[in-house]
């Protein structure tokens, strides 16, 4: 009799151990995955031991143990009932319905100064690729690697980082299939793809030693299993692939925390950083995360917390019915590189569904620092439609815009892609005066057309603080017509620079001749042209 009971019990324990090894739930009361896992193993245990339980309680009527067994079973049935009550109660007490004030305080939002915080655009740092375009370029590059394409594939872990002051997307390779993992696991994954988001250059970075720890591994080297057995209580929210300033690959795994009740107030309290090659690992509290790491907070969490901040200022009921002073994020988001950090950008609109933004927010992906800028204007979707309308005959589609500062004007910058997902043109849309839309084949060309359009609409685009002066005799003078406007290009005996004068703004140039002395005031534009802003 004892042997018949013992075998199902041993089988139950073995299956439970296998389930834990496969599902890897955190041993944490705040994790819903843990509660689901507990419920699942209880059900599995009942199924495996069903006959033993049924016989002990219902069939073995002559056994003196039957009464005792029934009492034990009644007590055991109370366990799942208590768990269910505790789970439901914890869910209700953690909800925004009862804890709106706590949810509203998850995020601290400062009011920012657009011109001071977001400096004028540096064209070497504008990311012109979205993740979809980056993936297509990576696949093309991988197809040219004859020695690797048969064994490895490009993974989907495209993460935007700042690498040596430039915006990059990086992603590791992955094994082609299980057989290729078996034949290559000793050496590991040989490298990762690095995509320059400003120049569209794609490089396969080959490592001296392969990546041994990743989500594509199995058994003990699988990233999640490797972390779980070393940090059994940690609730891993996300895992991002990053490289440090020396090109060493790491996995940055955000550790989730529940700050409101049992399951509410999702936040990030730290990060587990794993060297993808050696497996060396460290845990950092959020305040101590190294500066080279760009992403700990994922965009979805930051936007969720901002929506709580914007909608729950006056309580939960107001967010549903009155909706006074309620704001929410717009559809979509993008990333901006500022001061070697990656910030999440999204617009802000009223909860009533207006067709315009009342402002926008920037949220730091490493520190959660958040700044709000009260600048009304077009929604991102409207800007995308405006840009696509300029090239509708070509059938290009616009990427979700990023925010730029051009002549202290908040500006949407968009890339325009063809059907193959490749970037063909660029667009700039003024956020406040969204009828101003400029298109160009290059970023510099687009910016020049945009400045001209703004000037034509009465917006001062010249930063006189950056103006330079030149004096000398005219040694070369040539006129050129561009898009219906006449420009004069000058060279002086005192300089090797070329100066551009737009005739309609400076008619006095028509009176100048070779050999005459002139005094110029000019600014150097992004494309290297010295645009004259003063002529004597």
Question: Residue 225 sits in which domain range?
Answer: 131-293
Instruction: Please indicate, yes or no, if residue 117 is contained in any of the structural domains.
Output: no
Question: Which single residue is written with the structure tokens 């891993």?
Answer: 236
Q: Are residues 289 and 350 in the same domain?
A: no
Q: How confident is the model at residue 324 (pLDDT cuts 50, 70, 90)?
A: confident
Q: How confident is the model at residue 150 (pLDDT cuts 50, 70, 90)?
A: confident
Q: What is the pTM of this model?
A: 0.83
Q: Are residues 438 and 399 in the same domain?
A: yes
Output the six-digit token pair for 32: 């819903």
Q: Are residues 87 and 148 in the same domain?
A: no
State how far the Cα of 294 lies from the Cα of 346, in Å rounded to an integer. Answer: 18
Instruction: Please indicate, yes or no, if residue 106 is contained in any of the structural domains.
Output: no
Q: For residue 400, what is the DSSP state?
A: P
State how far the Cα of 357 lies from the Cα of 380, in Å rounded to an integer. Answer: 8
Q: Are residues 345 and 492 in the same domain?
A: no
Output the six-digit token pair for 333: 């988001």
pLDDT for residue 73 is more than 70: no
State how far the Cα of 151 lies from the Cα of 454, in Å rounded to an integer. Answer: 53
Q: Are residues 204 and 235 in the same domain?
A: yes
Q: Are residues 259 and 323 in the same domain?
A: no
38, 69, 93 - which closes a domain: 93
Q: pLDDT by residue (tens digit) across 202-253?
A: 999 999 999 999 999 999 999 999 999 999 999 999 999 999 999 999 999 9
Pairing state between β 530-535 and 499-502: parallel
CATH number, residue 510? 2.40.50.140
Q: What is the mean pLDDT of residues 51-58?
A: 61
pLDDT for residue 346 is more than 80: yes
Output the six-digit token pair for 202: 């794609």
- pLDDT score recorded for residue 504: 81
Q: Are residues 28 and 165 in the same domain?
A: no
Q: pLDDT by residue (tens digit) across 440-470?
A: 988 888 888 888 888 878 787 766 666 788 8
339, 355, 375 - which closes a domain: 375
Q: Are residues 213 and 199 in the same domain?
A: yes
Q: Are residues 219 and 258 in the same domain?
A: yes
Number of domains in the chain: 5
Instruction: Please indicate, yes or no, if residue 102 is contained in any of the structural domains.
Output: no
Comparing 5-9, 504-508, 513-517, the range with the smallest average pLDDT is: 5-9
Q: How many residues does the chain have?
A: 536
- The answer to whether 271 touches 284, Cβ cutoff 8 Å, is yes
Instruction: Please indicate, yes or no, if residue 126 is contained in any of the structural domains.
Output: no
400, 425, 456 - which closes a domain: 456
State how far the Cα of 25 lies from the Cα of 22, in Å rounded to an integer. Answer: 9
SS (H, E, C) 94-158: CCCCCCHHHHHCCCCEEECCHHHHCCCCCCCCCCCCCHHHHHHHHHHHHHCCCCCCCCEEECCCC
């Amino acid at each position: 009799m004892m042997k018949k009971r013992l075998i199902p019990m041993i089988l139950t324990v073995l299956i439970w151990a296998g389930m834990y090894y496969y599902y890897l739930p955190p041993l944490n009361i705040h994790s819903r995955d843990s509660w689901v896992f507990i419920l699942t193993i209880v059900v599995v245990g009942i199924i495996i031991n069903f006959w033993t339980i049924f016989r002990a309680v219902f069939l073995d009527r002559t056994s003196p143990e039957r009464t005792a067994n029934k009492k034990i079973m009644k007590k055991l049935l109370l366990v799942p009932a208590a768990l269910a009550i505790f789970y439901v109660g914890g869910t209700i007490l953690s909800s925004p319905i009862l804890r709106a004030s706590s949810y509203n305080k998850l995020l601290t939002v400062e009011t920012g100064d657009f011109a001071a915080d977001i400096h004028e655009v540096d064209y070497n740092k504008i990311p012109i690729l979205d993740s979809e375009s980056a993936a297509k370029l990576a696949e093309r590059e991988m197809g040219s690697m004859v020695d690797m394409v048969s064994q490895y594939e490009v993974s989907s872990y495209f993460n935007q980082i700042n690498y040596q002051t430039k915006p990059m997307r990086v992603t590791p390779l992955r094994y082609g299939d299980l057989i290729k993992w078996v034949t290559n696991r000793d050496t590991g994954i040989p490298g990762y793809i690095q995509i320059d988001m400003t120049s569209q250059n794609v490089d396969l970075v080959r490592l001296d030693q392969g990546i041994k720890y990743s989500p594509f591994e199995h058994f003990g080297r699988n990233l999640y299993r490797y972390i779980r057995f070393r940090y059994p209580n940690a609730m891993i929210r996300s895992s991002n692939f990053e490289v440090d300033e020396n090109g060493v690959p790491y996995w940055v795994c955000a550790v989730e925390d529940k700050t409101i009740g049992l399951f509410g107030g999702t936040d990030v309290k730290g990060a587990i950083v794993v060297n993808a090659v050696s497996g060396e690992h460290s845990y950092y509290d959020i305040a101590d995360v190294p500066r080279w790491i760009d992403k700990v907070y994922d965009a979805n969490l930051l936007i969720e917390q901002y929506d709580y901040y914007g909608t729950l200022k006056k309580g939960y009921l107001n967010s549903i019915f009155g909706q006074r002073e309620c704001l929410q994020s717009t559809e979509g988001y993008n990333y901006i590189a500022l001061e070697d950090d990656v910030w999440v950008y999204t617009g802000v609109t009223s909860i009533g569904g207006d067709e315009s933004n009342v402002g926008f927010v920037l949220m730091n992906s490493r520190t959660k620092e958040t700044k709000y800028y009260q600048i009304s204007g077009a929604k991102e979707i409207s800007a995308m439609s405006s840009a696509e309308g300029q090239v509708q005959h070509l059938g290009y589609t616009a990427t979700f815009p990023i925010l730029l500062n051009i002549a202290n004007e908040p500006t949407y910058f968009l890339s325009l892609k063809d059907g193959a997902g490749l970037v063909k043109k660029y667009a700039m849309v003024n956020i406040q005066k969204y009828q101003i839309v400029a298109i160009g084949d290059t970023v510099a060309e687009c910016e020049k057309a945009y400045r001209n359009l703004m000037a034509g609409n009465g917006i001062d685009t010249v930063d006189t603080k950056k103006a330079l002066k030149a004096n000398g005799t005219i040694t070369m003078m040539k006129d050129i017509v561009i898009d219906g406007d006449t420009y004069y290009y000058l060279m002086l005996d005192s300089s090797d620079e070329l100066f551009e004068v737009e005739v309609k703004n400076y008619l006095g140039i028509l009176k100048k001749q070779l050999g005459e002395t002139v005094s110029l005031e000019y600014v150097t534009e992004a494309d290297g042209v010295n645009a004259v802003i003063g002529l004597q």
